[in-house]
Amino acid sequence: MARTILDNIGNTPLVKVESADNDDSANIFAKIEGMNPGGSIKDRIALNMILDAEEKGLLKEGDTIIEPTSGNTGVALAMVAAMTGYKAQLIMPNTTSPEKMKIIKAFGGEVVLIEKNEWGEVKKVIEKIKDRIKNGEKLVLLNQYENKNNPGAHYIQTAEEIIAQMEDLPDPNFFVAGMGTGGTITGVGLRLKEKFPNIKIIGVQPVSGDTIEGLRSLEDFIPPVVNLDLINKIYDLEAKKALEAKDELAKTKGILAGPSSGAAFFISKQLAAENPGATIVTIFPDRGERYL
Ligand SMILES: Cc1ncc(COP(=O)(O)O)c(C=O)c1O
């Protein structure tokens, strides 16, 4: 049977990306999520949340999905919505890259921009959407910040792929993930900790005041999907360092990825330098073309 584009979500490659200054001792393996059809890790959760909402009868043909998103979930929802006959309205900060907005529109999605300050208080953004629904607007909020099918997609899919891809490699000592909703670190972290009980789960968030697109500081808001008990340490990273590491990925590894991939790479390299011989698994969440 012919496979649709949605059947090609996931099964992304795991690539070895040693640090340039420490090539022999570092063992950093990155999952290249930009190779998903919609260009980011968010394809996985968009499909999982939509399938679950359909199963529960919450989403029917012709419905409009509404979602607060830093962009990638918007792209993914617009793509899946285009395939499944829904409309998508995406509420995004005005700092989102123009490319992401154009991609969403190309998939037929509607972009609604809000001020960066307003976006910083995402709890209020979600409340406003819930009020619109209470007041009778026919919208379906999947809510990646609260929806268990966000970490669930990573528990059942992303983590299992990593485990299979690590089969012939040493057991990982660290898992490093940038944190936006916290869905990735929670879903992958939980499954990897079950499989490798000694693994350390490491989060990366922007230092207060800086923007690393896709990431968000827990100082602003602790999303209900995050399981803080799982996380051994969270690093606050300056945006400048994430951007430099993103450029290093393109120029020395041939991987054109986004700023949050740079953030994950920077902290993975730091851990590699501090722990010679350690095996580190990380996630590069999206493609770099959408930040040019
Ligand atoms: C580019 C990028 N990187 C990382 C993340 C963080 O992923 P998560 O929401 O699973 O914490 C996001 C989430 O929006 C993202 O768009």
Across residues 96-111, what is the average pLDDT?
95
Give 123: exposed, middle or buried? Use CB within 10 Å, 0-12, 13-18, 19+: middle
8 Å CB contact between 39 and 257: no
Query: DSSP labels for 208-219?
Result: TT---TT---TT
Which numbered atom of ligand 1 lies nearest the CA of 144?
9
Q: Which residues of 163-200 are buried (b: 16+ CB within 10 A; e: fewer)?
A: bebbeeeeebbbbbbbbbbbbbbbbbbbbbbeebeebb
Q: Is the pLDDT of residue 84 over 90?
A: no
Q: Is the pLDDT of residue 20 over 60?
A: no
* Annotated domain spans of the chain: 5-36+157-291, 42-141
Mutate to test the pocket of ligand 1, among 42, 143, 287 (most ligand atoms within 8 A of CB): 42
Distance CA 25, CA 31 (A): 20
- The correct answer on CATH 3.40.50.1100 for the domain covering 42-141 is yes
Ligand 1 centroid distance, CA of 98 (Å)? 17
Q: Are 5-36+157-291 and 42-141 equal in CATH topology?
A: yes
Query: Whose CA is closest to 16, among 163, 237, 169?
Result: 169
Reduce the DSSP state of residue 182 to 3 states and report it: coil
**How distant, in Å, are the alpha carbons of 30, 244, 288, 292 from that of 247?**
16, 5, 10, 11
Class of domain 5-36+157-291: alpha beta
Q: Which residue has the higher pLDDT, 31 or 119?
A: 31
Query: Residue with the nearest Cα to atom 2 of ligand 1?
Result: 214
Query: Whose CA is closest to 10, among 153, 150, 144?
Result: 153
Q: Is the pLDDT of residue 26 over 80?
A: no
For the chain, the distance separating the N- and C-terminal CA atoms, rounded to the nearest angstrom, is 38
Q: What is the pLDDT of residue 121?
A: 85
Residue 42 annotated as catalytic: yes
Q: Provide CB contacts within 8 A for 104, sequence distance 6+.
A: 71, 74, 75, 78, 88, 90, 110, 111
- Backbone phi, psi, residue 285, to 5°: -70, -30
Mutate to test the pocket of ligand 1, among 12, 41, 119, 287 (most ligand atoms within 8 A of CB): 41
* Ranges assigned E (strand) in the chain: 14-16, 27-32, 64-68, 87-93, 110-114, 139-141, 174-178, 200-206, 233-237, 279-284
Q: What is the pLDDT of residue 192?
A: 98
8 Å CB contact between 176 and 204: yes
Model confidence over 236-269: pLDDT tens digits?
A: 999 999 999 999 999 999 999 999 999 999 999 9
List residues near ligand 1 (CB under 6 A): 70, 72-73, 178-184, 213-215, 258, 260, 285-286
- Backbone phi, psi, residue 220, to 5°: -75, -40
Which numbered atom of ligand 1 lies nearest the CA of 260?
3
Dig out the tokens for 145 from the structure: 């910040």
Q: Is the pLDDT of residue 291 over 80?
A: yes
Distance CA 215, CA 290 (A): 15
Q: Which residue has the higher pLDDT, 25 or 177?
A: 177
- Backbone phi, psi, residue 109, to 5°: -80, 160
